[in-house]
Structure 1
Amino acid sequence: MSASLVIQFRNNASFLAVWTLSASLLLGILVGLRRLSRMRKERETNTNSRGGDEIKLPFLSNIVPFKGLPIYDKPEWPRCWKAGKYQLTMGLRKLDPDNWMTFDNQWEIEHKAKLEYASRKDKETIVDYLDGEDEAAVELLEVIVTYITRRYPDMFCLEGDQIIIIPIGERYRIKAPYDRHPLETASLLVMDDLYILKQGEGDLYYLRGAFLAAPTGWRLDQKIGWPLHQIHDPVPLWKEKLKKSMERFFVNLKVNSPIQRNNLFVQPCGEIFHHDRFESYPEVKRIEDLWIRTELQSLCRLPRSKAVVFSVRTYMAKMTELKEEPAALERLWDAVRNFPDIVSEYKSVQLWKDVFEAFCREELGKNEPEIDANTRDGVTTAYQPKACPAGFT
């Protein structure tokens, strides 16, 4: 073979090698770009379908799975009252991620009631939403689904576009087209009442919709669309003590700073659902007919829509349960004694004060409550209060 042919062969071979290498690199780049595009689309799909803005909702990443079914457990209701001078405060604390949406052995009864409310002809008095299937309602459903499937994996599971309540086999669509409004579905999945509030005119927050399965003397159709101050104006001392701070709090609430608080009522009956105010009820004659109603309330801001979600888990307990907790009973006795007249009237104390006073005197063996100056608890016994949801005692 001549020298020129050898050189030509080597040149051709070099060209072929370079071309092959270039083609391989180009193919690799194209495959990589295609894979990157697919990963980006999958990430966007997951974010849109599961409320995945989890970086901005850190408490969704810090959930400890509950083993078994919580629906057989007794309610751990909050003993949230304080002795001493009456003070109207917001009483906020950081949200406990493992006690945002709770379940207990009252779940089956309350779930059946919610299903009945959602099928009533006048359902707009209980569940309604002014803004259709908008981003806030869809996002709320996504966040609820993410939470309950992680916190209660033995109670809820996903199958395609549906979530299944395992103990009863109920299924609900969690992606469009929905079989129910997203707010309604979200509410049927939990024991809490759910409210959606949005910022509107004058930087005020307005109630845009709710599922109100445990009302205390009001109907949703009466107040939907109202600003916060109009909803709370009937509460004694609220305008003077809390109006400005609450409105400022809603404006400044951060996505990564959800909060909880408690609320207390003493009511002259054992039902959880009340469209009528308690003042319309007859006077309580027996202590067995007096009930303690406590609420675990939570507030969080949704990351995409920026709407605020207000959730309320309501617990009912007979007053007679405090026979086993004399220090807590004495603390409640002192708290009721310190209600201002305007607060006592608002809380309909006149319906149950006499029977409650007689009960406290008989159970505690004294005519006046005594409160320890250090512990701020009753001094009747060395009783240690039970821990309750979110660590509030």
Structure 2
Amino acid sequence: MGLQKTDLERWIEIDKSYLQKYQIKKSLIHTHRDEVTCASPECKGPAHEALLLLVDVLTQRYPSMFVKPNGHSIKNLVTGDMWDLKPSSTNWEKYHPLEVMGLLATDDFFILENDPTTGVTALKGGCVCFPGKRICEPHLYLSDSADNQLTAGWKIEERVGLSLWQIHAGKVPHYEQALSKSMDRFFLRMKSGNLTSRFNYAIDDSDDLFRRHSHHNLSNEHDAPLLKLEDLHLRVERQVLQRLPESGALLFSIRTYVTPITEVTKDRAVAEALRTSTRSYDEKLSAYKNQPLWNDALQKHLSEVLGDDDLRQDSAVAEAAE
């Protein structure tokens, strides 16, 4: 699952879960705002630029859902919300532009900025209503071998102001050795108009989109029970990165899908891909993603779905050992 070129027309996706996710986001912003939104003062300008870009995309691609009654506002025909977009609007006394973006679309949004002299990219703000993930985290934007700390069961306020290195080093397997330099270069060289996207996945233990805590490296002997097949869900994220043309800041968005494992493995290709990927984890990544908690249930299910000899071979080995 590598990087792919995309464009503004394919940036935002809206499906039948739109209203449900809107209601979750609205509630979270009102009741847990300090846990889902945090932004530095310098983030507000780029965030407003990003909001105007989103408004243009939504009104052009989904005209039956979003309209511009005038040149400085947007109306959501599904929810009835009307947003005055002028910089002088009183909206900004109650909402950050990133929050308005989150209420217009189902994605989570982040603003990052580069320091061209040092090459360091830092997180400046985000509205993250679906950090989800308790037993494992999604991958880094540039790699399938480590996990993305931008979306994994933590408070956004703990990360705003930190560089990519500070967010990932010492926490994510293989980051220092394999990823840090290439990741910094990629973010620094990103050009306006060149959108990139990628999909990643993780195994989760529920369909909850919002989780307050992330639990890693759990000992299945002392800290958590082994998971059953009915607990397992596939969390897929569509990530899009782009550079804003006026401010030069980076806009990172994540669209989240969570589906029961038993549903996604009805597609044989998905089942095969899951088995190949989860069997490739090294010791550090396996521990970090708490694979021991879910691996037995998943692998048994995949063997049954794929109709191969793995399950029978495991049973024969167990019988021979007795």
Which of the five TM-score ranges fits, normalised by the shorter chain? 0.7 to 0.9
Partner of 1:346: 288
Which residue of structure 2 aligns with residue 337 of structure 1? 279
Q: Which residue of 1 aligns with 2:180?
A: 243
Between the aligned partners of 1:312 and 1:133, the Cα distance in structure 2 is 18
| Residue identity (%) | 30
Counterpart of 1:196 in structure 2 is 111
From 157, 169, 176, give the equivalent of 1:221. 157
Question: 2:124 is matched with which residue?
Answer: 208
Match status 1:165 vs 2:76: yes
SS at 2:237's partner residue?
A: strand
Q: Summarize deviations over 1:39-91 as a string: whole Å, max 9, x none.
A: xxxxxxxxxxxxxxxxxxxxxxxxxxxxxxxxxxxxxxxxx5xxxxxxxxxx2
Cα displacement (A) at 1:202:
2.2
Equivalent in the alignment of 1:107: 18
How far 1:132 sits from its partner (Å)? 5.8
After the TM superposition, which residues 1-393 of structure 1 pair with which residues of structure 2 at under 5 Å, given as runs? 80=1, 91-120=2-31, 122-131=32-41, 134-160=44-70, 161-175=72-86, 176-179=88-91, 180-200=95-115, 202-215=118-131, 216-233=152-169, 234-279=171-216, 282-368=224-310
Task: Please tell me whether the aligned partners of residues 268 and 284 of structure 1 are also in contact (alpha carbons under 8 angstroms).
Answer: no
User: What root-mean-square deviation, in Å, do the aligned CA atoms of Structure 1 and Structure 2 show?
Assistant: 1.9
Deviation per CA, 1:99-150: give whole Å up to 9, x if none.
2111111111111111111112x51221121116742121111101111111
Superposition deviation, residue 277 in structure 1: 1.6
Q: CA deviation at 1:283?
A: 3.2
Give the whole-Å Cα distance in 2 for the aligned partners of 1:133 and 1:338: 39
User: Counterparts of 1:133 and 1:328 in 2: how far apart (Å)?
Assistant: 39
1:343 partner amino acid: L
What is the rounded CA distance, in whole Å, between the counterparts of 1:196 and 1:155 in structure 2?
26
CA deviations on 1:303-345 (whole Å, 9 max, x unpaired) are 1100000000011111001342123202211211111111111
Q: Structure 1 length normalisation: TM-score? A: 0.67
Question: How far, CA to CA, are the matches of 1:310 and 1:269 in structure 2?
Answer: 25
In structure 2, the CA distance between the partners of 1:222 and 1:345, relative to structure 1 (3 Å rule), is same
SS at match of 2:23: helix
SS in 1 for 2:126: strand
- 1:241-272 per-residue CA deviation (whole Å, 9 max, x = no partner) reads 11101101111110021111122111112212
Q: 1:171 to 1:331 in 2, by over 3 A?
A: same
How far off its partner does 1:284 sit?
4.6
SS at match of 1:295: strand
Instruction: Say if 2:241 and 2:252, in contact at 8 Å, map to a contact too.
Output: yes
Q: 1:337 to 1:134 in 2, by over 3 A?
A: closer
SS across alignment from 2:241: strand
**Equivalenced residues, count:** 279
Amino acid across the alignment from 1:218: W
Shift of 1:178: 4.0
Q: Distance in 1 between matches of 2:201 and 2:43?
A: 33
Q: Computing the radius of gyration over CA atoms, which structure comes out larger, 1 or 2?
A: 1
When the two structures are superposed, what TM-score results if normalisation uses the length of structure 2? 0.81
SS in 1 for 2:68: strand
1:130-175 Cα distance to aligned partner (Å, 9 max, x none)? 1167421211111011111111111100123321111221111211
Question: Does the aligned pair in 1 maintain the 2:7–2:194 contact within 8 Å?
Answer: no
* Structure 1 gap ranges (5+): 1-79, 81-90, 370-393
Residue 348 to residue 199, structure 1, CA distance change in 2 (3 Å): same
Q: Residues of 2 paired with 1:307 and 1:189: CA distance?
A: 21
Is the Cα–Cα contact under 8 Å of residues 8 and 195 in structure 2 kept in the other structure?
no
User: Residues 172-211 of structure 1, C-alpha deviation per residue, up to 9 Å, x if partnerless?
Assistant: 1211214122221122111110000112372311111000
In the aligned structure 2, how far is the partner of 1:269 from the partner of 1:278?
14
Residues 1:94 and 1:178: Cα distance change in structure 2 (over 3 Å): farther
User: C-alpha deviations, 1:348-379, integer Å up to 9, x for none?
Assistant: 1111111112111222222449xxxxxxxxxx
Deviation >3 Å, runs of 4+: 278-285
> Where does residue 34 of structure 1 map in the other structure?
none
Q: Which amino acid aligns with 2:73?
A: Q
Where does structure 2 lack aligned partners over 5 or more consecutive residues?
132-151, 312-322
Output the CA distance in 2 between the equivalents of 1:268 and 1:173: 40
